[in-house]
Amino acid sequence: MSTANYAKHLCPIAQALVDLGDQWTLLIVRDALSQKQVRFNELQENLGISRNLLTRRLNQLCEAGILEKVAVEGSKRFAYEPTEKCRDLRLVIHAMARWGEKWRPDPRLTRVETTEKTTGKPVALTFARTEDGVAVDLADVRVVRRRP
């Protein structure tokens, strides 16, 4: 399904895929989130993506407000910085990494460690009750779709 088709669905997941559903997009976001700024050539080298496709994806991400194109100081080149909208995807990226480690196990995969900055102690992605922050087991979580 193309991203244009996602826009027709009145579902928050489909609407997220309008901006994120193209090939390479989430990997570009992953790399952008790993540093303050990322340059075009770093992305191209790391991902092995063609220059023209990377250019299109970066333009789309900038238009969607997920990345911001900024001039590199002392250079004629540009870099890309994650916006707040992009940083809000950190949980999504980490959840996908956990899922991939669990369901697509491969000893060659890069492992993702999620730790607290100040202590270095591991942290987990969990559901918690809104009112008091108490963790809730995934088996005890119910998702309800409410139409307007």
List the domain boundaries for the chain: 3-87
pLDDT at 105: 84
Q: Which CATH topology does 3-87 take?
A: Arc Repressor Mutant, subunit A (1.10.10)
- Residue where the block lists tokens 């995934």: 138
In this predicted structure, what is the pLDDT of residue 78? 92
Q: What is the pLDDT of residue 39?
A: 94
Residues forming beta bridges with residue 81, ordered by sequence position? 68
12-52 pLDDT, tens digit each:
888 999 999 999 999 999 999 998 999 999 999 999 999 99
Structure confidence at residue 35 (pLDDT): 87
User: Beta-carbon neighbour count of residue 15 at 10 Å?
Assistant: 13
Please report which confidence band the pLDDT of residue 7 belongs to, taking 50, 70 and 90 as the band edges: confident
Report residue 54 CA to chain centroid gap.
Answer: 16
Give the model's pLDDT for residue 2.
59
Contacts of residue 31, Cβ cutoff 8 Å, sequence gap at least 6: 38, 42, 43, 46, 47
Which position has the token pair 């092995």? Answer: 48
pLDDT tens figures, 50-105 = 999 999 999 999 999 999 999 998 888 999 999 999 999 999 999 999 899 889 98
Residue 3 pLDDT: 63
Judge whether residue 1 has pLDDT over 60.
no
* Residue pair 63/19 in contact by the 8 Å Cβ criterion: no
* CB-based contact 33:85 (threshold 8 Å): no
